[in-house]
Amino acid sequence: MEQLLNHIKDYSPLSDEAQYALHDCFEQVVLSKNEYLLTEGKICRHLFFLQQGALRGFYTLDGKEITHWFGFEKDFVTSFHSFITQEPAVENIQLLEGSILWAISKDTLTGLFNQYHEIERLVRIAYEKYYIRLEERFVNAQFKTATERYENLLLQTPHIIERVSLGHIASYLGISQETLSRIRSRF
């Protein structure tokens, strides 16, 4: 929980009062490898903070699993579309490692927004960071070659390689496992 509160301070400073409120509203969730945080068709009612561990978001297309994002330590994770719209999720969230998370429900968060302007600000600022991150991924996806995408991954988040299987990384980069293997073999 301290990790969460400390991390949050990097986004925007919070009054003690707001921090206490947050402290009271998050609940710990512990899951082991391969378990699911969310499955397709369910409505995602919580936002999670990943304190320790790793997970992936994936959906199924033509019988194949497409991993479109990973979550690691200090990431906020949820099925964003479902969480915001409260419609059924199109994706699954699966643990890649045993993990410790902190969960807050959408209703509770909405209540905090009403009570604390500063918490809504915090989320506004967090959104900005996540938007910029997604923008970069988008530009990579659309306008760079497979090799460039892989090099970029090595530069930006080298730790992924050690914790995630080749197949999942290939999917994440939008290329086949075989192609990634070949790219890798020529450094």
Binding site for a second copy (CB under 8 A): 61, 66, 68, 80-81, 84-85, 113, 117, 120-121, 123-124, 127-128, 130-132, 134-135, 137-139, 141-143, 174
181 binds, among a second copy, DNA, none (CB under 5 to 8 A by kind): DNA
Please identify, using beta-carbon distances, which residue of 74 and 137 lies nearer to a second copy: 137
166 binds, among a second copy, DNA, none (CB under 5 to 8 A by kind): DNA
Three-class DSSP labels, 143-180: HCCHHHHHHHHHHHCCHHHHHCCHHHHHHHHCCCHHHH
Other C-beta atoms within 10 Å of 7: how many?
16
Among 145, 156, 157, 159, binds DNA (CB under 7 A): 145
Residue 94 backbone phi and psi in degrees, to 5: -125, 140
- Say if strands 55-61 and 92-95 run parallel, antiparallel, or are unpaired: antiparallel
Among 52, 81, 113, 174, binds DNA (CB under 7 A): 174
* Relative orientation angle of helices 177-185 and 146-156, to the nearest 10 degrees: 70
User: Of 40-48, 49-57, 90-98, 139-147, which segment contacts DNA by CB under 7 A?
Assistant: 139-147
Please identify, using beta-carbon distances, which residue of 33 and 131 lies nearer to a second copy: 131
| 179 contributes a contact to DNA by CB under 7 A | yes
Q: How far is CA 3 from CA 7, 9, 72, 117, in A?
A: 6, 10, 13, 22
Among 52, 140, 147, 152, binds DNA (CB under 7 A): 147
123 binds, among a second copy, DNA, none (CB under 5 to 8 A by kind): a second copy
Q: Which residue has the tokens 């009062």?
A: 17
Q: Which residue has the tokens 């990097």?
A: 10
Site residues for DNA per CB under 7 A: 145-147, 165-167, 174-185
